[in-house]
Amino acid sequence: AIQMTQSPSSLSASVGDRVTITCRASLGIRNDLGWYQQKPGKAPKLLIYAASSLQSGVPSRFSGSASGTDFTLTINGLQPEDFATYYCLQDYTYPWTFGQGTKVEIK
C-alpha cells in the first residue's frame, strides 16, 4: 500500500499567518491527492482535489501544490474558522490511504 507521510502532526499559528502542511507519498501518485478539513465532532470537508483544484465554495486562501511525490496545502491568512485537523488522501491506487493528519491550533 502507498504510505502518505503527513507533517507536521500539529502546529500552532495565529490569525493571519501563512500555514503549510505537507504530504509525501511513498510512490508516485500522479496528482491523485485531496485535502480534507475536519472540525471536532463533524464530518470531514473537501478542500482541494487533484492536488491543486479548489473545491467549489472553498475560500481562495486555501491552495494546493505538487512537486513529484510531495504535496502541500497552504492557507494564506489563517482565519479563526480554519483551526481544525487537515488530512491528505491519495486515491491513485487501492487501498486508498490518508495521511496521519495535522492539527492546526491557535497560538
x/- track of binding to other proteins for residues 49-88 (CB under 8 A): xx--x-x-------------------------------x-
**Cα–Cα distance between 74 and 30 in angstroms, integer?**
19
* Secondary-structure breakdown of the chain: helix, strand, coil percentages, each rounded to the nearest 5: 5, 55, 45
Pick 80 or 94: Cβ nearer other proteins: 94
The interface region with other proteins, picked from 12-20, 26-34, 59-67, 68-76 by CB under 8 A, is 26-34
| Residue 25 exposed, middle or buried by CB count within 10 Å (0-12, 13-18, 19+) | buried
Please state, in angstroms and rounded to a whole number, the distance separating the CA atoms of residues 62 and 58: 7
Give yes or no for residue 38 binding other proteins (CB under 8 A).
yes
**Interface positions with other proteins (CB under 8 A):** 1, 31-32, 34, 36, 38, 43-46, 49-50, 53, 55, 87, 89, 91, 94-101
